[in-house]
Amino acid sequence: MGAPRDILEVRQFDRPFLEELFARADGMRAVIAAGGSNRLQGRIMATLFFEPSTRTRLSFESAMSRLGGTVLSAEYARETSSAAKGETIEDTARIVEAYADVIVIRHPEVGAAARAAAVVDVPVINAGDGPHEHPTQALLDLYTIRSELGRIDDLRIALVGDLKYGRAPRSLALLLTQCRNIELVFVSPPNVRMGEDVTAALAAAGLPHREESDLAAVLPTADVVYQTRIQHERFSSEEDYQAARGRYIIDAASLRSMRPDAIVMHPLPRVDEIAPEVDADPRAAYFRQARNGVYLRMALLDMLLT
Ligand code: ASP
């Protein structure tokens, strides 16, 4: 595949695209070290965020700025854009297309970015559409695995926590279909198990997975423990949320049973699912993971806009 026009879901990526993107992301480390570049000078990126974000929005904006581009930001778009007056995402996108060369959208509705992409000519990037997908998070997650472990094949990966509403683990599981010899284990409270749409896609792609309720049984052999937040805002009842939260925690005792060369990842923000005592361990990769988001998003913007 060549450079795609839009970035909407993980299914659109193939292995050559990943290799190319990751090689470019490596190169962006040197670009930052050299004080940035002017490659995207004169280009404008608009970020429309209808849901909260720290890392995704700021790392996209940082990435664009590091490449010499300009940023227009609607941070609380649900409250402060015309969406509050009832404007559809399609109409908002049509307007913003006149102001920007690429539009990054986070929205609570599944498929919102795709709907916007269908009506505009500029590239649209899905920065999270409700509980559905977060494709650029999956890209930076796999890039992090490659940076930390030196490979994206031959891995035992445990996805832990809210696999039902968590768009990050959903997208990562789907992206792993591009990798070889992956052992995938899902560890989740019973009411937030991985959706059948994802498990069916994994089966169709020949990527086997198994479910395990005992996190302690998984830790000693995992190369990657990918912990996630229970997505409080997506539950219809507080009772269901309470049933899911607090069951799986990574702490110092977990680290003792993990391999010395394993890593702990998390898309962040964390609530209580990784104890702060884990942060100082070299296997805690989540802050490096967040930093990788800048390199990866620089590479992606560069690919889409040049
Ligand atoms: N920041 C990630 C997301 O937007 C993970 C999370 O919110 O738990 O999906």
**Using one digit for the tens of pLDDT, what is the confidence trace for 47-103?**
999 998 999 999 999 999 999 999 999 877 777 777 777 889 999 999 999 999 999
Class of residue 65 by CB neighbours under 10 A (exposed 0-12, middle 13-18, buried 19+): middle
Ligand 1 lined by 189 (C-beta under 6 Å): no
Confidence of residue 253 (pLDDT cuts 50, 70, 90): very high
Sheet holding 155-160, edge to edge: 209-211, 182-187, 155-160, 224-227, 263-265
pLDDT above 80 (res 2):
no
pLDDT at position 13 is 97
pTM score: 0.97
Please give the mean pLDDT across all residues of the chain. 96
- Is 56 among the catalytic positions? yes
CA distance 28 to 125: 20
Buried b (16+ CB within 10 A) or exposed e, 192-228: bebbeebbebbeeeebebeeeeebeebbeebbbbbbb
Q: What are phi and psi of 152, to 5 degrees?
A: -120, 10
Per-residue pLDDT tens digits for 99-134 = 999 999 999 999 999 999 999 999 999 999 999 999
Q: In angstroms, how far is CA 10 from the centroid of its own chain?
A: 10
> Which of 43, 47, 56, 92 is labelled catalytic?
56
Q: Which atom of ligand 1 is nearest to the CA of 106?
A: 4
> Which has the closest alpha carbon to 153: 175, 185, 186?
175
Q: What mean pLDDT do residues 240-258 have? A: 97
Q: How far apart are the first and last CA of the chain?
A: 16
> Which of 43, 57, 66, 106 is labelled catalytic?
106
For residue 79, give both structure tokens: 């409250």
- Is 134 among the catalytic positions? yes
Ligand 1 lined by 167 (C-beta under 6 Å): yes
Domains within the chain, CATH numbers bracketed: 10-133+291-305 (3.40.50.1370), 135-287 (3.40.50.1370)
- Mutational pocket test of ligand 1: of 10, 51, 54, 56, the residue with most ligand atoms within 8 Å of the beta carbon: 56
Find tokens 């069916």 and name the residue. 200
Q: What mean pLDDT do residues 182-195 have? A: 98
pLDDT above 80 (res 256):
yes
Per-residue pLDDT tens digits for 131-147 = 999 999 999 999 999 99
Ligand 1 lined by 57 (C-beta under 6 Å): no
pLDDT above 70 (res 1):
no
pLDDT at position 78 is 77
